[in-house]
Copies of this chain bind each other. A is one copy, B any other.
Amino acid sequence: MDKKAVILLSGGLDSATVLALARSQGYECYALAVSYGQRHVAELAAAQRVADALGAARLQTMHVNLDAVGGSALTDRNIAVPETEAAAGGIPVTYVPARNTLFLSLALGWAEVLGAQDLFIGVNAVDYSGYPDCRPEFIRAFEALAQVATKAGVEGRGFRVHAPLLTMTKADIIREGVRLDVDYALTVSCYQADEQGRACGRCDSCRLRRAGFADAGVADPTPYR
């Protein structure tokens, strides 16, 4: 039987590519989506479409009421989603405090229950250089934590955190996905997609995605509203 892996799946372009990569490496893939009060609930429907299309063994959705805490344009309706370039060197208002730490914690717990030792996350240090939890030092620190935090780690069945997109550009990611037959029309990247999953075309996430298709020389299949 294939080795099991837990794949964090948002319904966006990056994590769909990660799922395809993990499948191509022979993993039996358990996809984990997290509903955390983000505006773009359309992403969760996209996650289901992507999990089905790319052969995940299962999609599990975890719910966490991060909107009770706020602190980000993605969890607090009083903070507007930006439609201008993120300030160079600054951390964008779309940063959700400790989000990837939380996501990996949920993935780690599920992995331990499943007997999986491999976690996959689609973080990217090139396009999201402003996010502290999209950097290699974050991935390494979480991996170190996982060994001491769990029964599996203590008993010698340690965990690997794979972040295969870490140093890829958006165009690199798209070319890799096209090679692996990912249908990007199924994915939603927009920070303010409508209920049908149609993108605004103006937010930071839309701009990065659109430029990625252009740079990759691939026709952009995104449904814009």
CA distance A28 to B149 in the complex (A): 29
Question: A98-B108, A102-B106 known; 14 other A-B pairs, CB under 8 Å?
Answer: A63-B63, A64-B106, A71-B112, A91-B154, A95-B151, A97-B110, A98-B106, A98-B109, A101-B109, A101-B149, A105-B105, A132-B150, A138-B145, A141-B141
Number of copies: 2
Interface size on A, residues (CB 8 A): 43
Q: A122 CB to closest chain B CB, in angstroms?
A: 17
A184 on interface, CB distance cutoff 8 Å: no
Contact B97 A102, beta carbon cutoff 8 Å: no
- Is chain A's interface secondary structure helix, strand, loop, or mixed overall? helix
Q: A178 CB to closest chain B CB, in angstroms?
A: 32
From B62, B64, B99, B149, contact of A100 by CB (8 A): B149
Q: A136 CB to closest chain B CB, in angstroms?
A: 10
